[in-house]
Amino acid sequence: MNLYYDFSASSIRIFKGLLKIGVDLKNNKVIFPVYNSQYQTISYSNITFYIKKNDSDTQHLKLLEANNFLSETIQTIRIESAQFNPPSKKLKYIVGDGYFGALEYYSFYNFFSSSRFVRSGCLIIDVLSGGFYKHEIIHYIFSNYQFNRFLDEGIATLFSGGEIQFKTSTLNCWSEMCNKIHTDKKYRNAIDTEELLSNFQYKPEMYAISAMLLFKYYRKVGGKIFYDTLFNKLIKFSDAESVDFLKKELGIQQLSTFVVNTGVSLWEEIATKNI
Helix (H) or strand (E) holding 89: none
Contact 51, 95 (CB under 8 A): yes
> What CA dihedral angle connects 216, 221, 226 and 229, to 10 degrees?
-110
DSSP secondary structure of 17-59: HHS--EEETTTTEEEEE---TTEEEEE-SSEEEEEETT--HHH
User: What is the value of pTM for the model shown?
Assistant: 0.83
d(Cα 13, Cα 51) in Å, to the nearest integer? 30
d(Cα 269, Cα 275) in Å, to the nearest integer? 9
52 Cα distance to chain centroid = 24
Find the farthest-apart pair of alpha carbons in the chain and give their distance in angstroms, rounded: 57
Helix (H) or strand (E) holding 126: strand 123-126
d(Cα 122, Cα 105) in Å, to the nearest integer? 17
Q: Provide the 3-class DSSP secondary structure of residue 160.
A: coil
Residue spans of the domains in the chain: they are 2-33, 39-144, 170-272
Q: Provide the 3-class DSSP secondary structure of residue 158.
A: helix
What are the pLDDT tens digits along the chain (275 aa)? 444 444 444 343 333 333 333 434 344 444 444 445 567 889 999 999 988 776 666 778 899 999 999 999 999 999 999 999 999 999 999 887 654 444 444 444 334 446 778 787 788 888 777 889 999 999 999 999 999 999 999 999 999 998 887 767 788 888 899 999 999 999 999 999 989 998 888 999 999 999 999 999 999 999 999 999 999 999 999 999 999 999 999 999 999 999 999 878 888 888 876 67
Please state, as a whole number, how many other Cβ atoms lie within 10 Å of the Cβ of residue 193: 12
